Amino acid sequence: DADVTQTPRNRITKTGKRIMLECSQTKGHDRMYWYRQDPGLGLRLIYYSFDVKDINKGEISDGYSVSRQAQAKFSLSLESAIPNQTALYFCAAGGGNTDTQYFGPGTRLTVL
Amino acid sequence: QKEVEQNSGPLSVPEGAIASLNCTYSDRGSQSFFWYRQYSGKSPELIMSIYSNGDKEDGRFTAQLNKASQYVSLLIRDSQPSDSATYLCAVRGNNRLAFGKGNQVVVIP
């Protein structure tokens, strides 16, 4: 496993608040990803990064921003949270020719 | 056409039986294929990867890949109650993994 950790594990916040979700990995993988998961919609890619200087938008990047502070750290920010951003958020790390990805434990975010 | 499709509804299988899951994909150039298991409220866990046509076995799991027909399947032999979960098919294309919506498997003791 990539030993991916996420903080916080649960977060309740209010509409309009800024919130940051953090992700760290210890296996030195070059690629990191942020997904959200909603019932019936599956996993959807928000942002991904192939290295510290490479950030790419995924399917649903509007309302989100990211920062790759180091190879091991990739954070996701919601600048002004809204209720439809309530979801389960996963960070993943991976790489290599096959791009195998390993997931963190997830953050359950509720926006009231 | 969706990139990765898993069309079957919830699958109920008796304990000890074989569970069979199918997945089709649209990008003919895809080269890497994965099956993840996800328990309710938990993160996806990689259980199988396959890269070439044919079968790949790992314990009670067998992945099957047919690139000409653009499908990948997962067989779970001797199903156990602990196999009750949602199984996600993932296919690598366009520098990212595309995930299917998953198939729920319920193993009945």
DSSP for chain B reads --SEE-----EEEETTS-EEEEEEES-TT---EEEEEE-TTS--EEEEEE-SSEEEEETTEEEEEETTTTEEEEEESS--GGG-EEEEEEEEETTEEEE---EEEEEE-
B99 touches chain A (CB under 8 A): yes
pLDDT in tens, B50-75: 999 999 999 999 999 999 999 999 99
Which among A8, A58, A105 is positioned nearest to B97, based on CA atoms?
A58
Instruction: Supply the pLDDT for residue A43.
Output: 92
Nearest CA in chain A to B39: A105
Average pLDDT over residues B84-105: 91
Instruction: Supply the pLDDT for residue B95.
Output: 72
Interface contact A102-B102, CB threshold 8 A: no
Interface contact A100-B34, CB threshold 8 A: yes
Mutate to test the interface with B, among A54, A88, A99, A107 (most CBs of B within 10 A): A99
Instruction: Supply the pLDDT for residue B101.
Output: 92
DSSP run (H or E) holding A38: strand A31-38
Average pLDDT over residues A34-56: 92
pLDDT in tens, A46-103: 999 999 999 999 999 999 999 999 999 999 999 999 999 999 999 999 977 777 899 9
